[in-house]
Structure 1
Amino acid sequence: MSSPTRWAGVPLEDRRVERRAILIAAAFDIFGGSGPETELSVRSVCRHCGFNTRYFYESFTDTDELLGAVYDATAAELGAVVEAAMTTAGHSVRARTRAGMLAVLGHASEDPRRGRILFTEGRTNPVLAQRRAATQNMLFELSFAEADALETDPLTGRVRAAVFTGAMAELAQQFLAGSLGDDLERVVDEALATLIPGRR
């Protein structure tokens, strides 16, 4: 268990913030893993980070709340990566869309825990399903912002954003499952040709 001296001299609020972050990281490791130790419980999380259970309840009421925090942190990281990739990709719709696709698939597949939390378990786990809807909305808004800057017809932009968002969710699911092979660049190029054929 955590040593009392571990937090010596650290302000109370800073201790709580640090402990919360450690608990989220532990849950990310456990729930996002693919081995036998993937059952998320108060005991397993506290054992993973060496905490007394009272530190768990200092930040979370139950494991559902903790799992939601894990998803939120993982999705926020993905959003930042996608936004940065699209921002630096240039001005053409094709370049920015391609950069966004590469960022989603690349970031999720670089660490299997991310993909499991965001896409695999996000479809079936009741706690994550609600969060996944919020992530879909985030991707939609990012896509619509791109389309809105390029299209004069708002409906056209919203339709394209909706198609892109739905396609990316399924594309990520299939890529992470291994059914599309492991050539990320080719997968993105094929998807891009389908979504915006001939667009430069």
Structure 2
Amino acid sequence: MSSEERLADRRERLMAAAYTLYCDPGFPETTIERLCAAARISNRAFYECFSGRDELMEAVHDRCVQESLASVAKSVAQAPDSLLERIRAGIGGYIGFVTEDRRRARLMHLEVRRAGGCLTKAREQALAGFFEAVEIIGPGDPALAGPAGIDRRLLALGVIGAIQELLTEWVLADDPPEVDHLIDAAVHVFHRSFVA
């Protein structure tokens, strides 16, 4: 392999290790040494790939966000052509994708908060991703403008917060709610908040 290919391979191995270890035992408990052992690389090689655990968390989180947006786009593209069905498909595509792998749900909705410094960027990504998802669901649809006089950004943060809490409940509950029930609740919150 070339030096670029070796670097890319190490980055992928570190991201795979982080995807698992940041969820169990969790971000605060995962040391760089433990990540390196799982990825089978040296500590020195770690710093050739990432500046620290926070940057690695950002990279893993960003990949999860991009993959979830692709899932939303695919679900909406296959949905019947009505706004409510597109909303349900988009939210179902997101929640379905995130809950498909418990590690993904935990990383995106719990561990990123525990990471502290990563939270600001993660919140910005979540907000940008939310508006991108709204555009996927109803490109230019004035019905998704939200109620007149209410700041659309604040409304989006409220809906994101509701969905995050639903998914956090799913991750932490001893008896997690059915995924379909999460989707129903999220669709209701989204519809009541955004559909004029």
TM-score by length of 1: 0.77
Matches within 5 A, 1:87-106: 87-106=77-96
Change (3 A) 1:176 1:70: same
Tell me which residue corresponds to 2:24: 33
- In 1: Cα distance, 2:146 partner to 2:37 partner: 52
> Over residues 127-182 of structure 1, what are the superposed CA-to-partner deviations in whole Å (9 max), with x where a residue is unaligned?
33123212322333124413453216856597497254343233322333338843
> Over residues 47-86 of structure 1, what are the superposed CA-to-partner deviations in whole Å (9 max), with x where a residue is unaligned?
1121122211111122222222121122222222122212
Displacement of 1:34 after TM fit?
4.6
Matches within 5 A, 1:1-200: 10-34=1-25, 39-145=29-135, 146-151=137-142, 154=145, 156=147, 159=152, 162=156, 164-178=159-173, 181-196=176-191
CA contact (8 A) 1:71 1:131 kept: no
Amino acid at match of 1:20: R
Displacement of 1:188 after TM fit?
2.0
CA contact (8 A) 1:119 1:172 kept: yes
List gaps (5 residues or longer) in structure 1.
Answer: 1-9
Amino acid at match of 1:176: V
RMSD: 3.0
- In 2: Cα distance, 1:153 partner to 1:52 partner: 50
Change (3 A) 1:112 1:34: farther
TM-score by length of 2: 0.79
Higher relative contact order (CA 8 A, sep 6+): 2
Structure with larger Rg: 1
SS at match of 2:140: helix
Amino acid at match of 1:132: A
Count of aligned positions: 188
Please, which moves more after superposition, 158-167 or 53-62?
Answer: 158-167
- In 2: Cα distance, 1:112 partner to 1:34 partner: 13
- In 2: Cα distance, 1:107 partner to 1:26 partner: 20
Please, which moves more after superposition, 121-130 or 54-63?
Answer: 121-130
SS at match of 2:30: coil
Displacement of 1:122 after TM fit?
2.6
List gaps (5 residues or longer) in structure 2.
Answer: none
